[in-house]
Amino acid sequence: MPSPNLSAALVVAQRHLPGVLKDAANTFHRYKYVSSESMIRECRAALHEAGLALIPVSETIRPAPELAAFGAAAVLSASWELFHGPSGESTPLTWEWPVVPEKGRPLDKALASARTTGLGYGLRDLLLAPRVDHEDDMDWSGRDRQPEGAPPATGKGIKQPAAPSKPADPPPVSTSMLAAAKYLEDQGVPAPLERLVKACEQAGLDPSTVAKPALSGIVKALVSQKEAK
C-alpha cells in the first residue's frame, strides 16, 4: 500500500542525520566504531524530527545450524512497525541478528546483545547513516552543520588563542664561525655567535662562507672588548 507521507518523512529523517560519530574503540584490533547505543540514540532523534516512531511488534528465535561453525546458537528475528504520526501511515520492518554465546557471555546476555546490535544496524540501514571519525565531527550531525557560506563557528564571547609565532631561522654560518664562537664562549664573551654574525655583516663578510683568517681580527677585538669591561 503506497505511503507517500511516510516516505516523505523518511527522506526528512535521512537528511537530518548525515552521520554518526565513532565513539568507541576496539583496543585489541585498534579500530574505532559506533556503539549500538549511540546509533540508536541518534537515529531515534532523526526519526522524531520527521514525525516518525518505531514500535516493536514481535520476536522469534530460530535455530541456525548453518551458522554453527561461526559460533551462532540461533538467529533472532525482530519485527517492528514504522509509523508516521501525522498521517497514521505505517510499514512493517524485520531485522535478523545471530545469537552468539561464548565464554563470559551466557545465552541471555548473547540474546540481549543481539537485540541491541540488530536494532542499531537496522536503524543505520533505514536511515543510511554513515559512520564518521572525530576529525569530521563538525559535519557528523545536523545540529553542528553550519549554513553554507557561513564563517566557522568560534563561540560568542570566547577569545580564540593566537597562533604561536614561528621563531626565525638562525642565519647559516660557516664551520670557522662556529669554532670561533666556541672559543669566544670559553673566554666568557656573552652571545658569541650573535656578536660574530653582527661583526661580519658590518665588515661586509658573509657569515656562511667566512674563513678563519678573516675572523681572527674580529675575535681579538671581541675578546679585548670583554676584557676592557
Question: Residue 88 and residue 80: Cα distance in Å, rounded?
Answer: 15
**Got the DSSP string for 38-106?**
HHHHHHHHHHHHTTEEEEEEEEEEEE-GGGGGGT--EEEEEEEEEEETTT--EEEEEEEEEE--BTTB-
121 falls within a domain: yes
In Å, the largest CA–CA distance within the chain is 104
Kindly state whether residues 15 and 112 are assigned to the same domain. yes
Say what the pLDDT of residue 95 is.
Answer: 93
Domain boundary residue among 136, 166, 201?
136
Q: Domain with 28 in it: what CATH number?
A: 3.30.390
Kindly state whether residues 180 and 130 are assigned to the same domain. no
Domain boundary residue among 136, 167, 184?
136
Residue 218 lies in domain: 175-228
62 falls within a domain: yes
87 vs 14, 56, 79, CA distance in Å?
A: 19, 19, 21
The tens digit of pLDDT for each residue in 15-27 reads 988 778 787 877 7
Phi (first) and psi of residue 105, to 5 degrees: -135, 90
Residues in the chain: 229
Q: Which residues of the chain have pLDDT under 70?
A: 1-2, 132-174, 210, 227-229
Half-sphere exposure of 137 (CA within 13 A, CB side): 6
Say what the pLDDT of residue 146 is.
Answer: 43
Phi (first) and psi of residue 78, to 5 degrees: -115, 130
Say what the pLDDT of residue 26 is.
Answer: 72
Taking alpha carbons only, the member of 67, 159, 156, 148 closest to residue 114 is 67
Contact 92, 102 (CB under 8 A): no
131 falls within a domain: yes
Kindly state whether residues 112 and 193 are assigned to the same domain. no
Kindly state whether residues 19 and 67 are assigned to the same domain. yes
Question: Can you name the residues that pair with 60 across neighbouring β-strands?
Answer: 77
Kindly state whether residues 113 and 198 are assigned to the same domain. no
Domain boundary residue among 79, 112, 136?
136
Which residue type sits at 227?
E
Kindly state whether residues 25 and 120 are assigned to the same domain. yes
147 falls within a domain: no
Say what the pLDDT of residue 217 is.
Answer: 78
Which contacts of 102-107 are long-range, i.e. CB under 8 A and separated by 24 or more positions? Answer: 102/71, 107/73
Say what the pLDDT of residue 165 is.
Answer: 56
144 falls within a domain: no
Global pTM value = 0.54
Q: How many domains does the chain have?
A: 2
Kindly state whether residues 125 and 181 are assigned to the same domain. no
